Amino acid sequence: MNIKTLSPLIWLMLFINILPQNNEGPFEIAKSIAERIINDTSIELKQVIQKPQLDIQVIDFKKVFGENSRGISYALSALSCEEDKILKFGLSYNSPVKIWVNDNLVFENKNSSKFYFKEIAYTIFEFQDTLEIRLNKGKNKILVKTFSDGISNKIYLREISKAELPVRTKFVDPLEVINNNWVYTGNYYPENGRGMDEVFPPEVSIDKFYNYGNKIYTWQIPPPNILCEIEIKEDAVYKRESYAEWMYPNGTVLFSINYLAQAVNDKTYSDFTKKICDFTLENYGLFQKQYFELDGFRSSNHRLFRMSMLDDASGPALPFIQLMLKKNGDEYEDILSSVLEYLSNGQSRLKDGTLCRPEPDKMTVWADDLFMSVPFLVRAAKIYNEKKYYDDAARQIINFNKYLFDTTMNLYKHAWFDYSKEKSVAFWGRANGWVIWATTEALLNIPKTHKDYKTIKKIFSRHIDGLIKVQNEDGMWHQVLDRKDSFKETSCTAMFIIGLTRGIKNGWISKSYEKNLLSAWNALKQRITSEGIVKDITRGTGVGFDLEFYFSRQRFDNDPRGLGAVITAATEIGKYLGNK
């Protein structure tokens, strides 16, 4: 047979036959994914030695000298820099402090103060003070002095860098004999009453030990902390985070598994959701101690206490509020109240009330945040019988449309920058997916008599029109929606299936879109193996400033950032088709 003479039809048949086929029904596919997640999830805690995180230098004198130590103490480190440079550092402290770099005094505060530090976005921090440090190429000596009056004293120090970018300096062992960034000596007690002004031996020279006041003072290192972290199974498909971790992707996964449980009337799935939520509640005190007292900046469930963005708040809380709505989660009231308070009064907003973030620049509107807010708000409105939460959900949909929607393409850009009054560069697939999924949640839950209901329905319909125009011939959508040279992406395709299915079933859009829906589902299910493994899910994605940023994003099997959407899409298709 001469392959050059094969007809296009035969070529198509051969191509279809080589593609992996998944012929299971939608509910069976959804259940296979859920069961894989259940099998891959451990809610056991394992003990680990704490390691430094986020390049934050924690100078904790209490760990070395005890709770009731009194007097002057010193901490010594070396700061390595690749070139001569002046850099800014953030500093937080609760006791008098002086800092020298290469024997030059760079900071001094003689007063005790209330310790303040907060991570306000991914690797963006608020400190009490900032200081500029002139660094030489190579190693730079840094000496920190503090006075303790019996109250625990702690210092945080970190180079100020842009969000998610690495720092340009490195703290290293100052004595070159131990594997520790800081060494300590103290407590020197001021005999003449001058306190912080009195000069003690470490300020004069760095020696192996000091004989002062008939006492020997040596350099010491603090003992390490042992943390309890959520175990990740060795044979799990996805190992970057535990599915039991409080984080927005897992919020969508558990939210979707619970939705599947209702659709197929199987308590196996709803019991799993509740098991994870109960685990979080039962170990709340442990996770809280590790974050606030043991400096566990990335310890298990740290986001529950960081709570400085919707990714930390209403996104992870979705399964909790859904259980409470179904009268199976009243014990979560305290957690949900704090989340609702943050969403209503803590999250950054523009002057017109639009939710925004401090990254990558202050007051940036992210399309992602529509899903991180609206599904939670509409359920809070039902639980607390408060119309204001419906109003806020509607306001977000209308305002996000105002800032992010491109009326030429009928698609959403990923972000809008308040400082420049401009949209970001890309029609990112999953950003549009978050918007369409959130909008369906509003239309399903906001009363039809609400003043903004019809407006929301028009916004939804117009968005669907834009999505259909950029759907690939095989039914998938691309990572950058209007660029077919970007890869085909699973999570956004699943989210658009949710929108199409709900839209057709509820009469928000014409049934003529059914062909697009079925084409999308037939393409999506080929990316799901019979073992419940979902392919081609883009990793977490910040706002990029060029298209290459989106084109080059990694993809992971069973990344929770898309698993919830795929489970919900399969569940919706199953309900729509009767699991044909």
| The three-state (H, E, C) secondary structure of 348-370, written as one string | CECCCCCECECCCCCCEEECHHH
Beta bridge partners of 229: 46
Query: What is the SS3 string spanning 192-256?
Result: CCCHHHCCCHHHHCCCCEEEECCEEEECECCCCCEEEEEEECCCCCCCCCCCCCCCHHHHHHHHH
Nearest one of 483, 332, 348, 462 to 410, comparing CA atoms: 462
Confidence of residue 22 (pLDDT cuts 50, 70, 90): low
Nearest one of 360, 355, 358, 351 to 343, comparing CA atoms: 355
Residue the block writes with tokens 């003072």: 217
Give the separation between CA 138 and CA 504, rounded to whole angstroms.
Answer: 65
Mean pLDDT throughout 52-70? 90
At the second CATH level, the architecture of 20-48+229-299+405-577 is Alpha/alpha barrel (1.50)
Least confidently predicted of 65-74, 226-235, 247-256, 269-278: 65-74
Mean pLDDT throughout 260-289? 97
**pLDDT score for 17:** 38
> According to the CATH classification, is domain 57-218 in 2.60.120?
yes
Domain with CATH 1.50.10.10 in the chain: 20-48+229-299+405-577
**pLDDT score for 329:** 81
- Residue 539 tokens read as 């990793």
Confidence of residue 32 (pLDDT cuts 50, 70, 90): very high
Q: pLDDT digit string (tens) for 418-447?
A: 999 999 999 999 999 999 999 999 999 999
Give the separation between CA 361 and CA 349, rounded to whole angstroms.
Answer: 13
Give the separation between CA 414 and CA 431, rounded to whole angstroms.
Answer: 6
**58 pLDDT higher than 90:** yes
Helix (H, G, I), strand (E, B) or coil at 469: helix
Give the separation between CA 163 and CA 124, rounded to whole angstroms.
Answer: 6
Terminal CA-CA length for the chain: 38
Give the separation between CA 485 and CA 73, rounded to whole angstroms.
Answer: 60
**pLDDT score for 23:** 75
Q: Which residue has the higher pLDDT, 279 or 175?
A: 279
**pLDDT score for 21:** 58
**pTM of the predicted model, to two decimals?**
0.92
Beta bridge partners of 423: 416
Mean pLDDT throughout 187-212? 89
Mean pLDDT throughout 39-52? 96
Contact 262, 575 (CB under 8 A): no
Confidence of residue 455 (pLDDT cuts 50, 70, 90): very high
Confidence of residue 3 (pLDDT cuts 50, 70, 90): very low
Mean pLDDT throughout 534-556? 96
Mean pLDDT throughout 161-173? 87
- Residue 194 tokens read as 């001058």
Q: pLDDT digit string (tens) for 96-152?
A: 999 999 999 999 998 888 999 999 988 899 999 999 999 999 999 999 999 987 777
Q: Left if phi > 0, otherwise alpha if psi is -120 to 50, otherwise beta: which for 536?
A: left
Domain with CATH 2.60.120 in the chain: 57-218
Least confidently predicted of 38-42, 174-178, 207-211, 556-560: 174-178
Confidence of residue 194 (pLDDT cuts 50, 70, 90): confident
Least confidently predicted of 67-71, 169-173, 181-185, 504-508: 67-71
Q: pLDDT digit string (tens) for 288-298?
A: 999 999 999 99
Give me the DSSP letters along 365-421.
EETHHHHHHHHHHHHHHHHHT-HHHHHHHHHHHHHHHHHHEETTTTEE-SEEETTTT
Q: Are strands 415-417 and 422-423 parallel, antiparallel or unpaired?
A: antiparallel
Long-range contacts of the stretch 442-449 (C-beta < 8 A, 24+): 442/374, 442/378, 442/393, 442/394, 442/397, 443/502, 443/506, 443/508, 444/502, 444/506, 445/378, 445/379, 445/381, 445/382, 446/378, 446/390, 446/393, 446/394, 447/390
**pLDDT score for 580:** 43
